[in-house]
């Protein structure tokens, strides 16, 4: 018989051994039990530390005010009488809200980590790797909790009265996404092989993290299964053409996961088509110069027309009418009721329509029923400053109402908050290139359920995934 026995890491004797996935060492049955007991004790210790941290959060929530600073403000208020009472109240509000906001943010992170601990306990599934992760996360949120109290008073004795102001310490900025992306589709040069793409544009991510993309110059829709090395053609791919089974430069797509259908903006054929299990039908075929697609929670379909400079809405199954104009439709222009080459679109739960107004270098928001839009990103001419965009493409909105824009010719993705004068770069922005932290003419954008950010890196013929930082 073959000798399958190996050395135990602890007793160094040849026995039947078992591996530990966390430390990659092998133990005999006796010492594996002891090793597991040590891990269990250490896990309990980490759990206790998390419980103690929760007590600290509760204590600070009950008393979020820094009393020594409040007393300082109160004394200043008394000495300065009524003319500064309004300002004093303003400072109290800033101080209190800052403390409460910081602690609430930390508590949310704590709850998320605590849920992970409970899941590990329930499944008895933890090892050295998970323990180190929990310890590191506890150190991070502990440091952040300590930083919430770093607030000071700055006093100006040169004014008519001893003026004061609140100085809040800046929280350490942690990038939400890792800046070095991984390629999840394409990346093997320009081409029509199943492991290649040729200027992909639109993107859709389903609940299983499968990637669907409009492969523009290959005239096809390609699906890349999660972690697959190559894609599979699910629509088109029969060369350029205008027959029912052919596509001509598709730009965007919607996957209806309930009926397993694909809605495609077949741009150069000037039509919107639907594919269901290889069966095709026209949805809109009245010479529409379609660019972007979106569907709201009520099942209405939205299509941007880059020639008519408008976005129209259609009710499902009623595509034989003209639809309703919900954005633009007032000829090409730069006024708030006009668009200039609208591209990608996004519709929120309130049926507000966000449009990447490409040649006006801005993103517009049209509320339901509005006669004009508002500028929510860019709008300060073509440029690379933080208050500018350069031919924006993909636009998506997160659960907090923040606007993400593929800033195409600046080779970056920006995040804007409605009402702010400028945005911030979240990924890219390191010049045009092929490195993992660079982009080349980004187009479509999407999130998966975990918050990872996918960018269609059109100029490099690939799709990049920027993983969220935990």
Percent above pLDDT 70 for the chain: 90
What is the mean pLDDT of the segment spanning 450-460? 94
Query: Which residues, 6+ apart, have CB-to-CB distance to 112 below 8 Å?
Result: none
CA distances from 383 to 248, 334, 373, 392, 409 (A): 32, 16, 22, 11, 9
What is the arithmetic mean of pLDDT over 392-415?
94
Element (H, E) at 272: strand 271-276
Least confident among 138-152, 366-380, 389-403, 449-463: 138-152
- Residue 367 pLDDT more than 90? yes
Among residues 394, 390, 319, the alpha carbon closest in space to that of 356 is found at 394
Percent share of the chain, pLDDT over 90: 57
Angstrom distance (rounded) from CA 51 to CA 56:
9
Residue 32 has pLDDT above 60, yes or no: yes
Q: What is the pLDDT of residue 79?
A: 74
Q: Give 198-210 pLDDT, tens digit per residue.
A: 999 999 999 899 9
Model confidence at 172: pLDDT above 60: no
Mean pLDDT computed over 241-247: 91
Q: How confident is the model at residue 174 (pLDDT cuts 50, 70, 90)?
A: very low
- pLDDT band at residue 2 using 50, 70 and 90 as cut-offs: very low
Residue 375 has pLDDT above 80, yes or no: yes
Here the tokens at position 451 are: 């918050």
Give the per-residue pLDDT at 320. Answer: 65
What's the burial of 264, exposed, middle or buried (CB within 10 Å: 0-12/13-18/19+)? buried
- Report whether 410 contacts 429 (CB < 8 A): yes
Cβ neighbours of residue 406 closer than 8 Å, sequence gap 6 or more? 344, 356, 392, 393, 394, 395, 413, 442, 443, 444, 445, 455, 456
- Whether the predicted pLDDT of 461 surpasses 60: yes
The fourth-level CATH superfamily of domain 182-466 is TolB, C-terminal domain (2.120.10.30)
At 258, list the tokens. 């309930």
Q: What pLDDT, in 10s, does the model give residues 304-329?
A: 999 999 999 998 766 667 889 999 99
Q: Which residues contact 231 (CB under 8 A, 6 or more apart)?
A: 185, 194, 195, 197, 211, 222, 223, 224
pLDDT average, residue stretch 110-126: 85
The HSE-up count of residue 374 (CA atoms within 13 Å, CB side) is 10
pLDDT at position 84, please? Answer: 67
CA dist 281 to 98, 223, 246, 278, 413, Å?
Answer: 56, 20, 12, 10, 35
Taking residues 242-250, what's their average pLDDT?
A: 92
53-90 residue pLDDT tens:
988 888 777 776 656 677 777 777 777 766 666 776 78
Q: Give the C-alpha separation, 286 to 441, whole Å.
A: 31
Q: Give the CB-side neighbour count of residue 126, counting CA atoms within 13 A.
A: 26
**Among residues 229, 210, 228, 212, which one has the least CA distance to residue 220?**
212
Select the more confidently predicted residue: 254 or 57: 254
Q: Is the pLDDT of residue 154 over 80?
A: no
What is the band of 175 on the pLDDT scale with cuts at 50, 70, 90?
low
200 has which bridge partners?
A: 215
Count of residues in the chain? 470
């Amino acid at each position: 018989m073959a000798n399958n026995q190996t050395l135990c890491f602890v007793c160094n004797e040849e026995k039947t051994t078992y591996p530990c996935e966390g430390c990659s060492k092998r133990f005999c049955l006796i010492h594996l039990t002891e090793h597991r007991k040590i891990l269990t004790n250490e896990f309990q210790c980490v759990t206790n530390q998390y419980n103690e941290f929760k007590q600290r959060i509760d204590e600070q929530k009950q008393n979020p005010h820094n009393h020594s600073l409040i007393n300082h403000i109160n004394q200043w208020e008394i000495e300065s009488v009524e003319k500064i009472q309004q300002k004093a109240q303003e400072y109290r509000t800033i101080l209190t809200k800052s403390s409460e906001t910081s602690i609430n943010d930390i508590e949310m992170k704590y709850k998320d980590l605590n849920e992970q601990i409970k899941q590990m306990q329930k499944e008895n599934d933890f090892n050295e790797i998970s323990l180190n992760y929990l310890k590191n996360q506890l150190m991070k949120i502990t440091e952040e909790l300590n930083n919430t109290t770093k607030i000071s008073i700055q006093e100006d004795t040169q004014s008519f009265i001893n003026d004061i102001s609140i100085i809040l310490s800046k929280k350490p900025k942690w990038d939400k996404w890792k800046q070095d992306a991984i390629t999840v589709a394409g990346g093997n040069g320009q081409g029509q092989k199943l492991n290649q793409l040729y200027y992909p544009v639109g993107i859709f991510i389903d609940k299983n993290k499968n990637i669907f993309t409009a492969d523009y110059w290959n005239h096809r829709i390609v699906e890349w299964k999660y972690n697959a090395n190559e894609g599979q053609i699910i629509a088109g791919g029969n060369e350029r053409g205008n027959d029912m089974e052919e596509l001509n430069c598709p730009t965007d797509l919607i996957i209806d996961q309930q009926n397993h259908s694909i809605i495609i903006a077949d741009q150069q054929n000037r039509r919107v088509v639907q594919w269901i299990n290889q069966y095709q039908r026209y949805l809109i075929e009245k010479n529409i110069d379609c660019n972007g697609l979106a569907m709201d929670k009520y099942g209405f379909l939205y299509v941007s027309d880059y020639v008519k400079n408008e976005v129209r809405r259609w009710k499902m199954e009623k595509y034989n009418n003209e639809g309703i104009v919900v954005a633009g439709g007032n000829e090409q222009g730069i006024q708030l009721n006009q668009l200039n080459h609208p591209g990608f679109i996004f519709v929120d739960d309130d049926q507000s329509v966000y449009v990447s107004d490409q040649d006006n270098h801005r993103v517009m928001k049209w509320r339901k029923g509005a006669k004009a839009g508002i500028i929510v990103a860019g709008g300060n001419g073509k440029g690379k400053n933080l208050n500018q965009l350069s031919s924006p493409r993909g636009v998506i909105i997160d659960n907090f109402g923040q606007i993400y824009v593929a800033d195409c010719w600046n080779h970056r993705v920006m995040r804007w908050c409605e009402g702010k004068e400028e945005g911030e770069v979240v990924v890219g922005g390191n010049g045009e290139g092929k490195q993992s932290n660079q982009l080349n003419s980004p187009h479509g954008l999407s999130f998966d359920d975990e918050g990872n950010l996918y960018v269609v890196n059109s100029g490099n013929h690939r799709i990049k995934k920027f993983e969220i930082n935990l």
